[in-house]
Copies of this chain bind each other. A is one copy, B any other.
């Protein structure tokens, strides 16, 4: 085949390992071993560890944010009689990030996103700025449009909180099981998306 699938194998393996151990905790050696390839091959495909990491962010965020942009535009077009609801807009934000794909890469990727969202180092800020600030500004603009009665500054904080809930609710889902002494566990992803949207919409409405 033209494009080697060993490159995707490396990216997938690295994504999982970065999610579990963080950037510095996942070594190139460990990634190579888990992927079943030589360490040198990673450097052949991705050059450096920094670039491998950015490749992972790049491929997933471009897919997620392309869907978000498209669904957001559609939500405004479909609501011709007026404006989309807060829930309509939030679904376009949450669903592309969390919905079930062919494998559960979103689980791992969201974990990585959690790390860099919380981090204050140069690399993380660079990646968030490059891959997430553009779409963030789109959503803030959209929220301002559909919530004209809410102070502009509050919208920024509301968006900020929404991302916190989304990211947090994907990573470490095992905690629900721990806290409920095994009575609750992972569930249908659609229910999960609906609950997040409901919660965030309620939170946004309470910001006056």
Contacts and interface: CB of A to CB of B under 8 A. Distances in A.
A62 interface: no
3 pairs of A and B residues whose beta carbons are closest in the complex: A202-B206, A164-B168, A24-B24
Interface of A: 19-25, 111, 114-115, 117-121, 125, 128-129, 133, 136-137, 140, 153-154, 156-161, 163-165, 167-169, 171-172, 174-176, 178-180, 184, 195-196, 198-207
Given A153-B184, A168-B168, A22 B25 contact: yes
B179 A133 contact: yes
A7 to B, nearest CB: 25
Nearest to A202: B206
Nearest to A19: B120
18 contacts: A20-B121, A21-B24, A22-B22, A22-B24, A23-B24, A111-B119, A118-B171, A120-B171, A133-B178, A160-B179, A161-B199, A164-B168, A165-B203, A198-B206, A202-B203, A202-B207, A203-B203, A205-B206
Contacts of A169: 157, 160-161, 164
A15 to B, nearest CB: 14
Question: Is the contact region of chain A dominated by helix, strand, or loop, or is it mixed?
Answer: helix
Given A137-B179, A174-B120, A178-B129, A199 B195 contact: no
A205 to B, nearest CB: 6
Contacts of A165: 161, 164-165, 168, 203
B22 A195 contact: no
Given A120-B174, A157-B199, 9 more contacts: A20-B119, A21-B24, A21-B121, A129-B178, A156-B184, A160-B175, A198-B206, A200-B203, A202-B204
Nearest to A197: B206
B202 A118 contact: no
A179 B21 contact: no
Contacts of A159: 179
Nearest to A200: B203
A154 B195 contact: yes
